[in-house]
Amino acid sequence: MTEPVVPMVKAEGVRKSFGAHRVLRGIDLEVAPGEVTCLIGRSGSGKTTFLRCINHLEKISGGRLSVDGELVGYRQRGDKVYELHDRDIARKRAEIGMVFQRFNLFPHMTALQNVVEAPVRVKKEPRASVVERAAALLERVGLGGRASFYPSQLSGGQQQRVAIARALAMQPKLLLFDEPTSALDPELVGEVLDVMRGLAADGMTMVVVTHEMGFAREVGDNLVFMDGGVIVESGAPREVLSNPTDERLRTFLSKVL
């Protein structure tokens, strides 16, 4: 267990406040490469905020947060820490994929254009090879025949699968999911979870904020229960779900299971 692997995500005492409201009160967490970590907890427990801190959509107010060994949003030289330029923050974000609760596909672009946009414009890859890869990705998420459809012509589940393909097109080293199935009709949840299951099997490092306990139990390597801005309990999903020790987790599980 002591091999010198750099954790993909490492949080040490991460704090975040919105004005006087303290949303995160000291999060310590490590995510190893290739691992799937599921964050669960009531709404308002800070799990989405923590996820957004990982790619610097939110700026942390205290503690230390690094991705793949590099600080998020800052650069350390000696014992001094410097704020990063927007350009460098953008470059780091490009290595982290994110999938949103409300898909956030670009409505003025077709499914294929959504997937192609960032690799061509941000990473400056040649369009022809990106289009080929994008078509293969859409095929992989089961939407090979929908490449020329606009988001408004797709169901929620299909839109979310395009969003996953869009994130994958950047060939990220880490994928963040913010309640990816919460905005979907129940019968469409399965198709998105299937795609995520496939990604986990391929060894993608993922941090997933979710309410899908079945998915967390089956696919997750690590389950983290948050409440009131701190991690209350964490460990192997089966262990945590079958033997919850904390009262708050027991109450939470009695409501969602």
Partner 1 sequence: MTSPRKASSPAPPGTTAGPTADSPASGPAPADITAVPLRHPGRWVASAVVAVLFAMLVHSLVSNPRFQWHVVGHYLFSEQILRGLWATVYLTVIAMAIGIVGGAALAVMRLSPNPLLGGAAWLYTWFFRGTPVLVQLLFWSFISAVYPRLSLGVPFGPEFVHGSANQFISIFTAAILGLGLNEAAYMSEIVRAGILSVDPGQNEAALALGMPRGLLMRRIVLPQAMRVIIPPTGNETISMLKTTSLVSVISFTEILYAAQAVYARTYQTIPLLIVASIWYLALTSLLTVGQYYLERRYGRGVAARGATPPQKLRALMTSLRAPDSSGAR
Task: Give the C-alpha separation, 117 to 166, whole Å.
Answer: 8
Chain centre distance of CA 112: 22
Q: How far is the CB of 106 from partner 1 (least distance, A)?
A: 6
Cα-Cα-Cα-Cα dihedral sign, residues 221, 99, 16, 74: positive
Q: Based on C-alpha coordinates, what's the Rg of the chain?
A: 18
Report residue 223 as tokens.
Answer: 């389950």
User: In the complex with partner 1, which residue's Cβ is closer, 133 or 166?
Assistant: 166
Residues 168-227 that bind partner 1 (CB under 8 A): 170
The nearer residue to partner 1, 65 or 96, going by C-beta atoms, is: 96
Q: Which of 110, 210, 222, 234 touches partner 1 by CB under 8 A?
A: 110
105 vs 240 by CB, closer to partner 1: 105
Binder of partner 1 out of 5, 6, 57, 230 (CB under 8 A):
57
Choose the binding region for partner 1 from 22-30, 86-94, 136-144, 227-235 (rule: CB under 8 A). Answer: 86-94
| C-alpha to C-alpha distance for 18 and 112, rounded to whole angstroms | 37
Smallest distance from the beta carbon of 221 to partner 1, in angstroms?
A: 23
| Bridge partners, residue 176, by sequence | 98, 207
| Total of chain residues touching partner 1, rule CB under 8 A | 36
Nearer to partner 1, 102 or 250 (CB): 102
Ranges within 155-174 binding partner 1 (CB under 8 A): 163, 166-167, 170
Q: Which is nearer to partner 1, 50 or 252 (CB)?
A: 50
Binding mask 113-152 for partner 1 (x = CB under 8 A): ----xx--xxx-------------------------xxxx
Which of 87, 128, 187, 202 binds partner 1 (CB under 8 A)? It is: 87
Task: State which residue, 124 or 255, has the beta carbon closest to partner 1.
Answer: 124
Would you say 4 or 145 has its CB closer to partner 1? 145
Q: Which stretch binds partner 1 (CB under 8 A): 35-43, 74-82, 84-92, 225-233?
A: 84-92
Residue numbers at the binding site for partner 1 (CB under 8 A): 55, 57, 86-87, 90-98, 100, 102, 104-110, 117-118, 121-123, 149-153, 163, 166-167, 170
